[in-house]
Amino acid sequence: MPPIKRTKFKLAPEQQLEMLYWLKLIRGFDERLSILVRQGKVRSGVYSGVGQEAIVVGTCYGLRREDYICPLHRDLGTFLMKGVEPRVMMAQMYAKTTGLSKGRDSALHSGVPELGIFGNTSMLGANLPVAAGLGLTFKMEQSDNVVLAYFGEGASNTGDFHEALNMAGAWQVPVVFICENNFYAYSVPFEHAMAIEDVAKRAESYGFDGVAINGNDVLAVYQATQGAIQRARAGDGPTLIECKTYRWHGHSEHDKAFYRTEEELAMWRSRDPIPTFTTFLQDRGVLTPENLQEIEGRVKAIVDEAVTFAESSPDPDPADAVTDLYA
């Protein structure tokens, strides 16, 4: 198996600032949700992605509308980056008629086919065979679209993971498998669940490349993803990218995460992807105080408006519960 060819994908200063905007918007959206769920306003389960934003931005930045993503319950930011308006996403969390599923469903399972978003399932890892099937469809249609399939390190211990990777490798389908390794599958520590250090090593068993990277470095995630996408579009098959990161909150907002130490959390908070990238841009003269103020002001205004829109939107009519059903 030939080694992964390294290619530098250049980003203009305005693109780097756009990345910072997305990082801050996704963080701001998630942080507001954490407050709203404690106020009893949100009707959806909330699985915060705070601390993992670099994976979302680094993988989704530059995707085409026609490319598909198969996100996780912790990946609301991927919906925003693929084109779902923040106000609509917030309305979905409130179970309002203006949300993606018109109040029928929590945010965790909604999909938007016209934007290339396949809805998640509660059985984590179950989307991976679907992603391989989507990739096979693109190959049979002879298009150069790609699929990004997200999963946690815990899901890599399920049968669906191995079946999907086997199919993708055997048939050389254009799928990029993104492992969000935050070291806890709910409450199970990584080292208690597998005997290897890197999930990425498992790709070799199925005949394609895997790489483990710093999932808190948005540029490292972007570079690895763009290389994998380039190979997939060229017909060179799948790649597994393991992004090592950490979730700051519990598995969900009702999980107090007593299974980890304050020292461990403090260590990972010191590796926050947003201040790290902010400092990088400031040191290179890309980010000015005026730029930063404008980005933060825009983010606050967007999140505020999204909450206002969701709270003022109508609740679903019970009579509509039997519409949009398919046998």
- What average pLDDT does this structure show over 200-216? 97
Tens of pLDDT, residues 245-301? 999 888 888 888 899 999 988 998 999 999 999 999 999 999 999 999 999 999 999
Q: Which residues contact 133 (CB under 8 A, 6 or more apart)?
A: none
Cα(153)–Cα(132) distance, integer angstroms? 18
Cα(208)–Cα(238) distance, integer angstroms? 6
Q: Sign of torsion, CA 241 246 249 250?
A: positive
Phi, psi of 180 (to 5 degrees): -90, 85
In the prediction, which pLDDT does 178 show?
Answer: 98
In the prediction, which pLDDT does 327 show?
Answer: 74
pLDDT greater at residue 89 or residue 4? 89
CATH topology of domain 13-308: Rossmann fold (3.40.50)
In the prediction, which pLDDT does 92 show?
Answer: 94
- pLDDT category, 188, cuts 50, 70, 90? confident
Encode 57-94: b = buried (16+ Cβ within 10 Å), e = exposed. Answer: bbbbbbbeeebbbbbbbbbbbbbbbbebebbbbbbbbb
In the prediction, which pLDDT does 6 show?
Answer: 53
Looking only at the bridges linking them, the beta strands covering 239-244 and 175-181 are parallel
Examine the pLDDT at 107 and tell me if it is beyond 80.
Answer: no
Total residue count of the chain as it appears in this document? 327
Q: How is residue 195 annotated by DSSP?
A: S
Examine the pLDDT at 1 and tell me if it is beyond 70.
Answer: no
In the prediction, which pLDDT does 163 show?
Answer: 98
How many percent of the chain have pLDDT more than 70? 97
Helices assigned H by DSSP within the chain: 13-38, 53-60, 76-81, 86-93, 127-140, 159-171, 218-233, 262-269, 273-283, 289-312
Examine the pLDDT at 212 and tell me if it is beyond 90.
Answer: yes
In the prediction, which pLDDT does 324 show?
Answer: 82
Does residue 179 contact residue 149 with C-beta atoms inside 8 Å? no
Stated pTM of the model? 0.94
- pLDDT category, 225, cuts 50, 70, 90? very high
- What average pLDDT does this structure show over 88-108? 89
For residue 163, give the nearest of 126, 134, 210, 117 by alpha carbon.
126
Tens of pLDDT, residues 122-165? 888 899 999 999 999 999 999 999 999 999 999 999 999 999 99
Give the DSSP per-residue string, 259-322. Answer: TS-HHHHHHHHTT-HHHHHHHHHHHTT---HHHHHHHHHHHHHHHHHHHHHHHHSPPPPGGGGG
The average confidence (pLDDT) of the chain is 93
Examine the pLDDT at 4 and tell me if it is beyond 60.
Answer: no
175-181, strands of its sheet edge to edge: 68-70, 147-152, 175-181, 239-244, 209-214
Cα(60)–Cα(226) distance, integer angstroms? 10
Encode 98-132: b = buried (16+ Cβ within 10 Å), e = exposed. Answer: bbbbbbbbbbbebbbeeebbbbbeeebbbbbbbbb
The H or E element that residue 70 is part of is strand 68-70
Examine the pLDDT at 108 and tell me if it is beyond 80.
Answer: no
- What average pLDDT does this structure show over 8-19? 93
- pLDDT category, 7, cuts 50, 70, 90? low
